[in-house]
Amino acid sequence: MSPPATRLRVKRYDPRDLLTEALVGILTRPLRAALTTLGTVLGITTLVITLGVAATAADQITTRFDAMTATTVSVSAPPPHPGSTDLPLLDWDGPDQVRPLAGVTAAAALAEAPVGHDLPVRASAVADPTLAGASIPVVAATAGLPAAVRGTVTAGRFFDAGMVARHDRVAVLGDQAAALLGIGDLSQAPAVFIAGQPFTVIGILGGISGEQFLAATVILPPTTAHDRFAFGTPGRVLITTALGAAGQVAAQAPTALAPGRSTELTVVAPPSLERARKGVAGDTNALFLVLGLVSLVVGAVGIANVTLVTVVERTGEIGLRRALGAARRHIAYQFLLESTGVGLVGGVIGASLGVIGVVSVSAAHRWTPVLDARLALAAPVAGALVGLAAGVYPALRAARREPVEALRSGL
Amino acid sequence: MSYGSPSIGPSSPPVIELRALCRQYPATPPVLALRDVDLTVRRGDHLAVVGPSGSGKSTLLAVLGLLDRPTSGSYALDGVETAGLGDGERTALRGQRIGFVFQAFHLLPHRSARENVELAEIHGGGAGRRGRSRRALAALEQVGLAHRSDFLPSRLSGGERQRVAVARALMGAPALLLCDEPTGNLDSANTEALLDLFDDLRDQGVTLLIITHDDAVSRRAMRRVRIADGVLTEERGAEVGA
Ligand SMILES: Nc1ncnc2c1ncn2[C@@H]1O[C@H](COP(=O)(O)OP(=O)(O)O)[C@@H](O)[C@H]1O
Ligand SMILES: [Mg+2]
């Protein structure tokens, strides 16, 4: 009459039943479940926002970097030693010497006012006390300057080679300098007075992206500046190159400019493009990643904590299930699945909030949001994994409870 | 109530067979909660275990329910010797052959009566998902609660809750129904109704072992076993307290 002992195998926990039981376990305590997910929601949101914004910002940085810095080479000569009889390293025909080099798209030579010369700039011959504090530097540059600094002449025109050759008393204002001096309309051929001497303003140069300081300067033809204010040879030659040619141009320019003495020149060239992009992206991502992971750990501790409390509270239920024939592993599976579910919900909500966050931050900065689809998909998975990891210890605790103790505690 | 059922007697196979069973709790000094207990419960028996608080009743139920292991002695359940069984086999045996009814009902508060009954099949018994809800309804029918199948425990009276617990214990037709103070939380009217139900179950051939300290409960059992200080003695009509 006694049934065969071979049937003494614990009943398999049907996955559909397991899923139902875990789901009901979560949903019967909706407020607690919501509060428990909060940690994971915060963690995942932080992670998605930080990673998303980091990617967006890095993309932004590298885009700008590519467009501007990567195509600019600047060659400068050290200031000559007082009393040195050496010939100057750079001369005003420097741009003509580098222009034949492959990859050079524009070049200009630039000299700043000689040391010790105070050159006050005013909009009228009479001293205007309100402008006393505004100091506007005077520089001399060759006719190719607008192209070499990627500027645009917003009004009038830049001086040409003919004006330079004729030593014309003309000046071009950087756009900030023009604003400071109150000069905007060039139809009446306004004048600026440099150390009391009048110069006709023939143009305004704006949108300067290479050498920002030029926006606040008065730019004179080198010949005129030499005649009037004893400007010397240029201190720098600014070169704009085609994308990818900067490295080669930087290597060749000193020799072209000062054959035989090229090593005395200082070359400022952009670092290699790939290195720059990786560097920027790498730095930001590493920092943000640590932040996000810390938040996730906090989320995991939250889930573990609440699950432990739940296990203690549900001691009676555990005992009942064991009495009904549930194996220890069934109990473990159920609590694991519940904490995983809580983590997953947190991950889904966190991913959604994170995506909204990235889009908002990008919108505020007028950036194009860079959203990696893998990130949006990985976030809920990460949440579930956090829940799974957080559930291991409480689940083992639950499974280890003796059914007798568990039953004694009531339900 | 008929005390002598034709199905009982030395001929029916034993469901419970205890031989020299001891359970000692490690403490200083050790507590011997069950001392050399011998007991045979046959199929269709209706047995009441009575005794004062602390006498070892719950300990006996835990051992019989395979929730706890005896320190020594042998226990055969439905012909299977349990002494050498591992945790998994004991769990399987428990799930398949034993139904529990507890004093505190132990119903899951957020599940309907039917879902609470179905829980027995989720973890124990041999049946799959198909027909489960029909079988749960049948079990509720058996305890006269089919019309309450969708109620949450909080909306049921104490007596109804305990009947749901009985229905759950009946799922999968266990060889043995173990009840620990099943009327402990019930008033006299509900107690009567539950005892009527137990009589019905016995008539259907269910083997019942009820732990109680209520005389009204033990009086309606076929056999009465008294336990005092871990020592078990069977009472038979006039020879009580031998
Ligand atoms: N886990 C335990 N550790 C030590 N002693 C225990 C333990 N459980 C029960 N006891 C003791 O064993 C005896 C029997 O307990 P129990 O079976 O619960 O009695 P009853 O159910 O009849 O009231 C009591 O003296 C009790 O104090
Ligand atoms: Mg007790």
Question: Can you give the pLDDT at residue B6?
Answer: 45
Contact: A11, B126; criterion CB under 8 Å: yes
Contact: B123, A16; criterion CB under 8 Å: no
Residue B216 pLDDT class (50, 70, 90 cuts): confident
Residues in chain B within 8 Å Cβ distance of A405? none
Which H/E stretch holds residue A17? helix A15-27
Contact: A324, B123; criterion CB under 8 Å: yes
- Helix/strand/coil for A21: helix
The crossing angle, in degrees rounded to 10, of helices A328-365 and A373-400 is 150
Q: In the predicted model, is pLDDT for residue A217 greater than 60?
A: yes
B87 lies within 8 A of chain A by CB:
yes
Residue A1 pLDDT class (50, 70, 90 cuts): very low
Residue B128's contacts (CB-CB under 8 Å, 6 or more residues apart) are A14
The CA distance from A180 to A200, in Å, is 17
Residues in chain A within 8 Å Cβ distance of B111? 24
Which of A348, A352, A355, A341 lies closest to A380, judged by CA?
A348
pLDDT, average across residues B127-138 = 90
A403 lies within 8 A of chain B by CB:
yes
Question: Can you give the pLDDT at residue B238?
Answer: 38
pTM above 0.80, yes or no: no
Rg value, chain A, Cα: 36
Alpha-carbon dihedral sign for residues B6, B11, B14, B20: positive
The CA distance from B161 to B168, in Å, is 11
Question: Can you give the pLDDT at residue A281?
Answer: 55
Distance of CA B235 to the CA centre of its chain: 19
High-pLDDT (> 70) share of chain B, %: 93
Residues 161-180 of chain B whose Cβ lies under 8 A from any Cβ of chain A? 168
The β-bridge relationship of strands B80-81 and B14-25 is unpaired
Residue A182's contacts (CB-CB under 8 Å, 6 or more residues apart) are A123
Residue A267 pLDDT class (50, 70, 90 cuts): confident
Contact: A9, B78; criterion CB under 8 Å: no
Look at A276 and A17; give whichever has higher pLDDT.
A17
Which of B82, B122, B178 is most worth mutating to test chain A (most A CB atoms within 10 A of its CB)? B122
The CA distance from A121 to A181, in Å, is 9
Residue B56 CA: nearest ligand 1 atom is 17
Owner of token pair 């049948």: B138
Q: For residue B224, which phi and psi values (nearest 5 degrees)?
A: -130, 130
Give the domain B16-234 fold. Rossmann fold (3.40.50)
Q: In the predicted model, is pLDDT for residue A360 greater than 60?
A: yes
Question: Can you give the pLDDT at residue B120?
Answer: 93
Residue A65 pLDDT class (50, 70, 90 cuts): low
Give the minimum alpha-carbon distance from B1 to chain A in angstroms, rounded to a whole number: 29
Distance of CA A100 to the CA centre of its chain: 35
Residue A2 pLDDT class (50, 70, 90 cuts): very low
* pLDDT tens digits, one per residue of A133-156: 457 889 999 999 998 988 899 989
Q: In the predicted model, is pLDDT for residue A5 greater than 70?
A: no
Q: In the predicted model, is pLDDT for residue A203 greater than 70?
A: yes
Q: In the predicted model, is pLDDT for residue A330 greater than 70?
A: yes
Look at A234 and A370; give whichever has higher pLDDT.
A234
Residues in chain A within 8 Å Cβ distance of B75? none
Structure tokens at A394: 């409480």
Q: Which of B37, B55, B179 to mutate to test the pocket of ligand 1 (most atoms within 8 A of CB)?
A: B55
A3 lies within 8 A of chain B by CB:
yes
Q: How many CA atoms lie within 13 A of B120 on its CB side?
A: 32
Distances (CA, A) of A327 to A75, A185, A403, B87: 78, 89, 10, 8
* pLDDT tens digits, one per residue of A79-123: 777 666 677 888 899 999 999 988 899 999 999 888 777 788 888
Look at B5 and A302; give whichever has higher pLDDT.
A302
Contact: A320, B108; criterion CB under 8 Å: yes
Contact B179, B131 (CB under 8 A): no
Rg value, chain B, Cα: 18
Question: Can you give the pLDDT at residue A287?
Answer: 67
High-pLDDT (> 70) share of chain A, %: 87
The domains of chain B are located at 16-234
Q: In the predicted model, is pLDDT for residue B163 greater than 80?
A: yes
Structure tokens at A205: 């140069």
Cα of B152 vs centre of ligand 2, distance in Å, is: 27
For chain B, give the mean pLDDT: 88
Ligand nearest to the CA of B180: 2
For chain A, give the mean pLDDT: 84
Give the minimum alpha-carbon distance from B238 to chain A in angstroms, rounded to a whole number: 34
The β-bridge relationship of strands A170-174 and A197-206 is parallel
Distance of CA A397 to the CA centre of its chain: 47
Contact: A321, B123; criterion CB under 8 Å: yes
Quickly list H helices, A133-267: 145-148, 161-165, 175-181, 222-229, 246-257
Which of A14, A31, A324 is most worth mutating to test chain B (most B CB atoms within 10 A of its CB)? A324
Cα of B57 vs centre of ligand 1, distance in Å, is: 8
Look at A404 and B6; give whichever has higher pLDDT.
A404
Distances (CA, A) of A377 to A91, A346, A351: 60, 13, 8
Cα of A105 vs centre of ligand 1, distance in Å, is: 96
The CA distance from A33 to A343, in Å, is 10
The domains of chain A are located at 15-64+275-410, 78-264
Helix, strand and coil content of chain A, in percent to the nearest 5, comes to: 55, 15, 30
Look at B21 and B189; give whichever has higher pLDDT.
B21
Name the residue of chain B whose CA is nearest to A405's CA: B67
Helix, strand and coil content of chain B, in percent to the nearest 5, comes to: 35, 25, 40
Question: Can you give the pLDDT at residue B240?
Answer: 38
* pLDDT tens digits, one per residue of B47-84: 999 998 899 998 999 999 999 999 999 999 988 999 88
Residue B1 pLDDT class (50, 70, 90 cuts): very low
Question: Can you give the pLDDT at residue B239?
Answer: 38
Residue B235 pLDDT class (50, 70, 90 cuts): confident
The CA distance from B63 to B65, in Å, is 5
User: How would you list the strands of the sheet with B208-212, edge to edge?
Assistant: B98-102, B176-180, B208-212, B46-50, B223-228, B231-235
Give the minimum alpha-carbon distance from A34 to chain B in angstroms, rounded to a whole number: 18
Name the residue of chain B whose CA is nearest to A407's CA: B106
B80 lies within 8 A of chain A by CB:
yes
Look at A62 and A323; give whichever has higher pLDDT.
A323
Residue A128 pLDDT class (50, 70, 90 cuts): low
Residue A272 pLDDT class (50, 70, 90 cuts): low
Residues in chain A within 8 Å Cβ distance of B110? 24, 28
First CA to last CA distance, chain B = 26
Quickly list H helices, A28-144: 30-67, 94-98
Contact A204, A170 (CB under 8 A): no
Contact: A7, B92; criterion CB under 8 Å: yes
DSSP string, B102-130: ETT----TTS-HHHHHHHHHHHSSS--ST
Q: In the predicted model, is pLDDT for residue B166 greater than 90?
A: yes
Q: In the predicted model, is pLDDT for residue A78 greater than 50?
A: yes
The CA distance from A330 to B123, in Å, is 8
The CA distance from A382 to A48, in Å, is 11
Which residues form the pocket of ligand 1, taking CB atoms under 6 Å from any ligand atom? Answer: B 25, 27, 31, 33, 51, 53-59
Question: Can you give the pLDDT at residue A201?
Answer: 93
Q: In the predicted model, is pLDDT for residue B183 greater than 50?
A: yes
Residue A200 pLDDT class (50, 70, 90 cuts): very high
Ligand nearest to the CA of B181: 2
- Helix/strand/coil for A390: helix
